[in-house]
A and B are shown apart, each in its own frame.
Chain A
C-alpha cells in the first residue's frame, strides 16, 4: 500500500538555524499538508498546498515558514530561523481530491531546537 514518507525522522538544530523537512507524498495525490504537534498538545494544521501554491495557511504559518514542491515527488517545509518553540513533531499528509477526502499521514519528523 502506498505511504507518505518523511525524512529525517529526527532533526536536532541550534536556535536560529534553518531546517528543511522533507516529505514524499503518495504518488497520485495532488493536495499536500503540513501539521505539527508540540509535545502534549493537539495536532495543528500549518498549511495546505495545491497546484504549486499555498491554498490555506494557519496563524502559526508565519514568515519564518515556507513550503515548496521542488520536483515531482518531494514536498518540503522550511523553517528559516528556528526558535525553541518550534520544537515539535511535524507531520506531512496528502490526499487525492482535497477537502473531504481522507488525508494520509507520514510518520513525522521530530524537530528539536536547542
Chain B
C-alpha cells in the first residue's frame, strides 16, 4: 500500500518569503500526485497535479511542484508568499492504473501561516 509523508506540520513565514513544502511518497509503481489546499472555512481545492510529462508542474496562485522520481518526492514551492496563502496544504498520491476508482492517500498536511 502507498503512503505519503509531509515533513513540515507547521510552517510560519513572513510575506514575500519563499516557500517549499516537502512531500515524499512510498509506492513501487507509477503514481499520480496532487497538492490540495484548504483555506480557513473552505473545502479542499486542487492546487496542482502531476500525471506524466514535464516533472515541473505549475498550478494556481503561483504555486509549482517538482516530481523527482528517484527521490519519490513532489515538493511544493512558491517564490513569494502572500498573507492569503495561509491555509492547510495536503499532498496526495494515487497509483496509476489507467482505470478504476481508487481513493487518494493523503499526507498529514502542513499548516502554513503567513505573517503580514
The docked-state distance in angstroms from the alpha carbon of A75 to that of B22 is 34
The docked-state distance in angstroms from the alpha carbon of A50 to that of B43 is 23
Residues 46-100 of B contacting A (Cβ, < 8 Å):
46, 49, 51, 90, 92, 94-100
In the complex, which residues of chain B have a beta carbon less than 8 angstroms from the beta carbon of A50?
Answer: 101
A-B CB contacts (within 8 Å), total count: 73
Q: Considering only CB atoms, which chain A residue lies closest to B42 in the complex? A: A107
Interface SS majority for chain B: loop
22 A-B pairs whose Cβ atoms sit less than 8 Å apart in the complex: A4-B43, A33-B101, A33-B103, A35-B103, A35-B104, A42-B90, A42-B106, A42-B107, A42-B109, A43-B44, A43-B106, A44-B106, A45-B102, A46-B103, A47-B103, A48-B101, A56-B100, A99-B98, A99-B100, A100-B97, A105-B43, A105-B45
Known: A55-B100, A99-B32. 17 other contacts (CB 8 A): A4-B43, A33-B103, A35-B103, A45-B104, A48-B102, A49-B101, A56-B100, A56-B103, A98-B101, A99-B94, A99-B97, A100-B51, A100-B94, A100-B98, A103-B104, A106-B43, A108-B43
